[in-house]
Structure 1
């Protein structure tokens, strides 16, 4: 894309980074396109990113988040909220036994988020308002465990398990034509998720894996697609 003189000025004001990476000093919104019309995700303070200077307009620049490899658009007005990083982000290997020890903390995070006033926010990744996969990513992240950003990516990342094998902390995936929703299994056929306004509760709530619940629970029960277990922390394969 064409880099206009105003964009060059904005980048010139950003301190150079010896590592090629920056980190966020405050929560930032990232968008699906250079129009800024639709939220894609949000970055919490401390997250690392790279500027993709080949994709830039007069108002937005494309960036890649280092922890999950997610690519989205950042407003040039938010460049002042970035700090140059002396070191590149280092992914940590986390084993399944380590993950198991953190399941209570992960579940506690989702329940604490549910206890706060909240609503479903497409692209929401910073509390109090989340989308379904943003809540899952944020919950695991508190323990240093990374998941891919979107529900369909999370479904391909986890190890598939059967309903009979489900354990608290496993993920439940829902689909129409493809996976488009995810929840955290709590045990005893209950799960917690952030569901939307049109076909959900417009907030974080606990529902049951049963056709005997209310209309919303039944709707999601009919959409159940698969179950998965997080075996490791996600490390994106980026050239």
Structure 2
């Protein structure tokens, strides 16, 4: 059981202590792989079955004016270009990504005292790729994607009413995996193409191991070169 020491007064809630991190391995530029994508793949593979929902990641976007917002979404794919997630293209996150085509990701795997931070440019995933992923989702999730005008204000019961209407429209039963619920025009994937990736390993006394990869300016996007540095905790 994890515990945190907290002091509470009528006007303040203050965290006064946190248990120590004790990652058994070490992390340095000499121990990581040459590619941060390969390093991420290795870490992500290692935490399967150890970390609950390791695909959960914080996505940070910003408006054209630079106002940030963050939320937890699900990582769905790593490919040679970057990190892919899927969402409604009319949502707040998508509107901000169109206005400011940069994003940051953060994975935190508490059980193994590891964290990965990604900063990069974004691009929309090809529709054929989004369609293939969409058709792999449960029927209920596909209906939900159609029914939700994500981030819009709705009345109580409005979304469920849309789901019921869509079931009739597509003649779809949530328990029938063969139901034909096609990909909506307003839904698909975004890819974060990284310019910077940092790997963090929790150590006692906050003396954490941090290794950062920076894309070498001018290197090819399909075969980037990386500068690897150790950062102070």
TM value normalised by structure 2: 0.28
TM value normalised by structure 1: 0.28
Larger radius of gyration: 2
Q: Which has the higher contact order (CA 8 A, sep 6+)?
A: 2
